[in-house]
């Protein structure tokens, strides 16, 4: 199978500047759904998982909304190709470990369907910047289309049923990927995160649930999906994100005023390492890119395009590197290739 994804180019939603892009990199809306005539994922044998995947693929191929979309059975892909899909947020780590799973996604990778994840279906849409409404509208349109074709597991008291209690009710999660160097470097982030948690929201790492925080990137989402409508969960998240944006911008200004030359030195060193290093691991690369992104925003690295930096968030990941060279690489080899790639990206910029 030829993977219909270019490992040399970032996802389209990561290649555009959406609203409030200095702080919010992307917004995502996701619905979890299960079919009533199949056991939940962990009770579903492999032959039924395959049957479910084929049934969903067959229905989606008939729908106008998914015309021209890509259909991938993950069991037909290499380990690196499956990892690449996770790095592009088209799949989760749990999904790529299940060989009877599948992914369906639109041109530009804005909207996608995961089949046989923790739930039978994960319907999601991603938009650039702080634009939850756009992502929500696309995901809702897809969910309504499938709701007309399938009988989803539903209870009059509990709402849509899920393999995990936290997804009961609406099965809806809204999330945003935030870049918060000001709050981290000003040592205000823990206070902010505690306040967010008290509001019923949760903060995760760069790749969402189960992932660690890298650089200054945080993913913020609603913690539960029961008790309110999807619209109210979305509105609640939007209110909190607006406050976080204000606090982050204030922290950046304070940082410039209090640590001017030290901050310039740290950013300059980060840029120098990215441009000239001979080997670099994923964690360090994301930390350095994060500092350079702050430098671009503050006008300290004016000759670098912020979109270039954000594209590297994907392109320097292990799956992308291995798909780019066409072979499995050891961790040490990936560190060398990563340094070479980022050095080439920065080669046209002034020293």
Q: Quick check: 76 and 1 in contact, CB under 8 A?
A: yes
Given 3-state DSSP classes, what are the helix, strand and coil percentages for the chain, each rounded to the nearest 5? 50, 15, 35
- Residues 210-244 pLDDT 10s: 445 567 999 999 988 888 999 999 999 999 999 99
Tell me the Ramachandran region of residue 115: left when phi exceeds 0, alpha when psi lies from -120 to 50, beta otherwise. Answer: beta
pLDDT of residue 41: 77
Beta bridge mates, 112: 105, 124
- Residue intervals of the chain classified under CATH 3.30.590.10 are 12-253
Residues near 111 by beta carbon (within 8 Å), at least 6 away in sequence: 105, 124, 125, 126, 138, 139, 142
CA dihedral of 274, 314, 16, 6, whole degrees rounded to 10: 120
Point out the residues of the chain with pLDDT beneath 50: 210-211
pLDDT of residue 16: 83
Question: Phi and psi of 141, rounded to 5°?
Answer: -60, -40
Q: Quick check: 205 and 214 in contact, CB under 8 A?
A: yes
pLDDT of residue 46: 86
Q: What distance in Å separates the CA atoms of residue 211 and residue 204, rounded to the nearest whole number?
A: 7
pLDDT of residue 91: 96
Q: What is the largest CA-CA distance in the chain?
A: 64
Q: Quick check: 300 and 273 in contact, CB under 8 A?
A: no
Task: Find the DSSP H helices in the chain.
Answer: 46-62, 79-87, 93-96, 132-147, 181-185, 189-198, 230-258, 260-276, 282-297, 306-315, 318-325, 331-346
Q: Quick check: 7 and 323 in contact, CB under 8 A?
A: yes
pLDDT of residue 210: 47
- Whole-model pTM above 0.75? yes
CATH topology of domain 12-253: Creatine Kinase; Chain A, domain 2 (3.30.590)
pLDDT of residue 56: 96
Show the tokens assigned to 250.
């204030």
Question: Phi and psi of 92, rounded to 5°?
Answer: -105, 165
pLDDT of residue 211: 46
């Amino acid at each position: 199978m030829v993977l219909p994804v270019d490992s040399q180019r970032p996802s389209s939603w990561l290649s555009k500047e959406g609203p409030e892009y200095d702080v919010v990199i992307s917004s995502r809306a996701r619905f979890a759904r299960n079919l009533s005539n199949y056991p939940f994922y962990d009770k579903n044998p492999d032959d039924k998982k395959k049957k479910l995947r084929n049934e969903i693929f067959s229905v989606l191929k008939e729908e106008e909304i998914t015309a021209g979309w890509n259909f991938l059975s993950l069991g037909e892909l290499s380990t690196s190709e499956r990892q690449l899909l996770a790095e592009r947020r088209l799949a989760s780590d749990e999904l790529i470990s299940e060989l009877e799973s599948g992914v369906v996604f639109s041109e530009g990778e804005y909207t996608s369907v995961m089949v046989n994840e923790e739930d039978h279906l994960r319907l999601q849409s991603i938009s650039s910047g702080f634009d939850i409404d756009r992502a929500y509208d696309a995901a809702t349109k897809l969910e309504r289309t499938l709701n007309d074709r399938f009988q989803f597991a539903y209870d009059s008291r509990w709402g849509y049923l899920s393999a995990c209690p936290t997804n009961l009710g609406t099965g809806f999660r809204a999330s945003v990927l935030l870049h918060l160097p000001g709050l981290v470097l000003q040592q205000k982030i823990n206070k902010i995160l505690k306040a967010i948690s008290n509001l019923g929201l949760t903060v995760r790492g760069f790749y969402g649930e189960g992932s660690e925080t890298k650089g200054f990137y945080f993913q913020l989402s609603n913690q539960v999906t029961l008790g309110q409508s999807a619209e109210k969960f979305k509105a609640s998240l939007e209110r909190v994100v607006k406050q976080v944006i204000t606090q982050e911008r204030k922290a950046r200004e304070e940082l410039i005023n209090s640590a001017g030359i030290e901050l310039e030195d740290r950013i300059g060193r980060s840029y120098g390492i990215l441009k000239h290093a001979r080997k670099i691991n994923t964690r360090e690369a994301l930390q350095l890119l994060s500092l350079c992104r702050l430098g671009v925003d503050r006008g300290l690295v004016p000759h670098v395009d912020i979109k270039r930096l954000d594209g590297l968030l994907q392109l320097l990941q292990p799956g992308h590197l291995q798909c780019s060279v066409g072979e499995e690489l050891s961790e040490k080899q990936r560190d060398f290739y990563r340094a070479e790639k980022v050095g080439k990206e920065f080669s046209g910029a002034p020293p």
